[in-house]
Amino acid sequence: ASSTGPLRVCVIGSGPAGFYTAHQLVKRIDDVHVDILDKFPVPFGLVRFGVAPDHPEIKNCINQFTVLARKEQCRFIGNVGLGQDVGLAQLRPHYHAVVLAYGAEEDKELGIPGEDTPGVYSARSFVGWYNGLPEHRQLDPDLSGEVGVVIGHGNVALDVARMLLTPVSRLKTTDMCTHAIEALARSRVKQVRLVGRRGPLQVAFTIKELREMTKLPHCSTLIDPSYFHSIKSLLSELPRPRRRITELMLSVAENRGDKRPAGGKEWGLSFLRSPVEIVSSPTTGRLDSLRLEINKLQGTWDSAKVVPTGEFEDMECDLAIRSIGYKTVRVGRDVPCDPVTGIVPNVAGRVLDRNKSYIRGLYCSGWVKTGPVGVILTTMNKAYETAEVIQEDFRSGTLPEPERGDILEKLNNELGVDTVSFSDWENIDRHEVREGEKKGKPREKIVDLTQMMDIVHK
């Protein structure tokens, strides 16, 4: 390390990207100290606020992150928002390297008329509502109608549909927030249709999640087999994962109606449809239907272009959730950000300035680096790449020397930030687990920031 002590790194964001970058730095460099900052008093990003409550095994990475956070070389500093409580220029003099890993905090919009009609929600807010994201805890979606539409053909869309259709007796044993479990117990939603602008060969969800949907109790799957007529002959040419998922959809489509239980629920896939308008009822002002333009595809299956046909149809619905992706937001004027994609411009995690030169000592990791795509494993691999380039730059002596001492003093004393340590989080964690035990679930998440801070101050 340097003459002044260990290599000092600050990671902004405590999701998988932040933790895996820190993990790799601690593993590979003997004398290193990593601060992991987060705007929330609670760590782990989308592992806490995104991953579906009925997939607890996906959250096992938290155990590894916890081991790391308890190490001497690592320190979690929660309740510090970059761009809110502290600026990048204030942080950088305290470190050799700063890693931007603050994820994607907004959802993409369709950009069509009627998007703000009552009854229309974004997947980000709906997921945040059932997973306890403080800003969405009061969403209280209207689930009083029978027909729901989810716009999008990715895994998040399937998560949303699954939460709407899973028997509440199952959800009760997960860490889904009680307010959501209660609302879903009252829900009258019986049918959920997932609408995508492309065809069966372009779906973005994965086979495990699809299979799970086809096995939901008291719920049948409806897929129109006619979508597959021209696809059948292509099957043998497809790469294996694409072939398997297509075969699964095809077999479900061909067996349709087989297991439709009386009074049961159903879900299905609609292809080649782009929403062009959200239509509200002239009497109530509430959502009435989606106006869809019918598309066709041009080109080969893996680079197919969507071509609108000029034909339209209306799909009546009582609830619509758009799930067309997340987007990265700019967190400060001094934080580089592509105005179109929201991504931090970078090469292998080294951040670039406007002139496409490297900014010494500034890196990025996770969804700010790649855009909001990919599972935790993808994020991990990309985080390891960022850690590697930091190590290279450290070895070649290109990192700037820190000019200032411990940031914590500045945050607490000068900037008046009420920081949260990892052991403070562990107090919140214990509280949540205790409250969960009373209800037979793994935890009851605290959804109110003030209540979190009350536990910290106890």
- Smallest distance, ligand FAD to C-beta of residue 262, A: 33
Q: Which DSSP string do the residues of 300-339 spell out, in sequence order?
A: -GGGPEEEEEEEEEEEE-SEEEE-S-EE-----TTS---T
Ranges within 394-433 binding ligand FAD (CB under 6 A): none
Q: Which of 366, 411, 419, 446 binds ligand FAD (CB under 6 A)?
A: 366
Choose one: 31-39, 62-70, 180-188, 200-208; the region binding ligand FAD (CB under 6 A): 31-39
Decide if residue 148 touches ligand FAD (CB under 6 A).
no
Decide if residue 390 touches ligand FAD (CB under 6 A).
no
Decide if residue 46 touches ligand FAD (CB under 6 A).
yes
CA distances from 382 to 26, 56, 333 (A): 16, 23, 25
List of E strands, 317-454? 319-322, 326-327, 346-347, 350-352, 358-364
Size of the site for ligand FAD (CB under 6 A): 35
Ranges within 104-133 binding ligand FAD (CB under 6 A): 105, 127
| Three-state secondary structure string covering 33-77 | EEEEECCCCCCCCHHHHCCCCCCHHHHHHHHHHHHHHCCCCEEEE
d(CA 219, CA 154): 20
Decide if residue 269 touches ligand FAD (CB under 6 A).
no
d(CA 73, CA 21): 13
Q: Which of 22, 24, 33, 45 binds ligand FAD (CB under 6 A)?
A: 45
Decide if residue 147 touches ligand FAD (CB under 6 A).
no
Q: Do strands 319-322 and 120-122 pair parallel, antiparallel, or not at all (unpaired)?
A: parallel
Choose one: 107-115, 366-374, 389-397, 422-430; the region binding ligand FAD (CB under 6 A): 366-374
d(CA 196, CA 343): 25
Residue type, 108: K
* Residue (6 or 371) nearer to ligand FAD, CB: 371
Decide if residue 11 touches ligand FAD (CB under 6 A).
no
* Residue (36 or 272) nearer to ligand FAD, CB: 36
Q: Which of 2, 28, 71, 81 binds ligand FAD (CB under 6 A)?
A: 81
Q: Which of 10, 11, 15, 176 binds ligand FAD (CB under 6 A)?
A: 15
Q: Which helix (H) or strand (E) holds 219?
A: strand 219-223
d(CA 350, CA 295): 40
Q: Which stretches of the chain bind ligand FAD, using CB under 6 A?
A: 12-18, 37-40, 45-46, 50-51, 55, 58, 81-83, 101-103, 105, 127, 156, 159, 326, 331, 366-367, 374-376, 379
